[in-house]
Amino acid sequence: MENDKVDFWKLRELIQEFEKLDFELGQKYNQVEKLLPNPPPPEVKEESEEEKIARLQATNAWLEALLYRDNKEFLVKYYETLKAKTEIKSFLENHTHIKAGHDLARQLRNIRNNEGYYIDKAFLELMSKIDTNSSQEIAADYDYWGEFTVPEFMDENFKRRSRQVGVIVINKSIPDNFRYHLQKIKECYQLKLFEATVIYCRALIEAGAQMYLQKRTNIAYMGKEFKLTELLRDIKKYKPDKQMNDGAYVVKDIANNQLHAEKLTKIDEEKAFQAIKKTFAYIEYIFE
């Protein structure tokens, strides 16, 4: 789906509602400190049936107490805010990129990256209390599938990964072939093809670097054989941000290790997601 088909009125309406709720959540944020000091034990890989039952009972007791320790109002606002944020991500998940001005671009990147809002601080604080590595997408996904049957080619986390990837946010147009490949990267991640995701990310960084350098220098980079290391070295002259450039090298190394290692190693979901985040950030950086 192309950028010019985005309903910006609807998008701004969703963001306005989310930021209103997030502000109200901020007014109650100090209540997060009132959460119980002794959370339930975390789940372990190998536990007996008795241990599992005891853990679930402790969790239920903790949650019940949580609701009646002056936290109910805070938790209601927390889930309202999380739901509003999820609606924005769901609205955007079928778009590969959005061309946006500075303020909207900042909002969308913060929403996509789960940073910059009170809901992000509250989520991390709550997760630290219950000692889990959950994500906002998982927390918002508890009722997504409902009574529907999950198709065979999907797993129960398909929708969550769709929202998690988000969109690229730029202030310049991206060529059609680039939009196509961005969408394919998202599809690889959605379908748990994590090795393909990482390798595709590396290829996209290489294509983006070639395109940028050719336009910037008028030297024929496109269609010629350059090592990615050479491209990343050349681009530093014009785009010197260390964090962005380091991120591109990380993606390159992950993909190279996958392709050229003597021993096959699997890429897990978290590593694939980090590769996407770094790739999206780098493409946004060189096309800004």
Please write the tens of the pLDDT for every residue from 234-245. Answer: 999 999 999 999
pLDDT at residue 35 tops 70: no
Q: Which ranges of 166-237 would DSSP assign to H, the alpha helix?
A: 176-190, 194-217, 228-235
Mean pLDDT of 202-229: 86
Provide the pLDDT for residue 64. Answer: 65
Mean pLDDT of 44-55: 78
Name the pTM for this structure: 0.69
Provide the pLDDT for residue 38. Answer: 60
Q: Comparing 220 with 78, which gets the higher pLDDT?
A: 78
What is the chain's percent helix, strand, coil content, to nearest 5?
65, 0, 30
Mean pLDDT of 258-270: 82
Provide the pLDDT for residue 276. Answer: 92
Which pairs with CB-CB distance under 8 Å and at least 24 residues apart come from 34-41? 34/69, 34/70, 34/71, 35/66, 35/69, 35/71, 35/125, 35/126, 35/129, 36/62, 36/65, 36/66, 36/69, 36/129, 38/62, 39/129, 39/130, 39/131, 40/130
Provide the pLDDT for residue 160. Answer: 80
pLDDT at residue 272 tops 90: yes
**Mind listing the domains of the chain with CATH numbers?**
1-171 (no CATH), 173-288 (1.20.120.330)
Give the pLDDT band (50/70/90) at residue 33.
low
**133 HSE (CA, 13 A, CB side):** 4
Give tens-digit pLDDT for 111-136.
Answer: 988 899 999 988 887 777 655 556 77
pLDDT at residue 39 tops 70: no
pLDDT at residue 17 tops 90: yes
Provide the pLDDT for residue 67. Answer: 57
Mean pLDDT of 38-60: 74
Provide the pLDDT for residue 150. Answer: 45
Provide the pLDDT for residue 142. Answer: 45
Q: Comparing 139 with 9, which gets the higher pLDDT?
A: 9
Give tens-digit pLDDT for 141-181.
Answer: 544 333 334 445 556 677 788 888 888 787 676 777 888 88
Q: Comparing 37 with 192, which gets the higher pLDDT?
A: 192
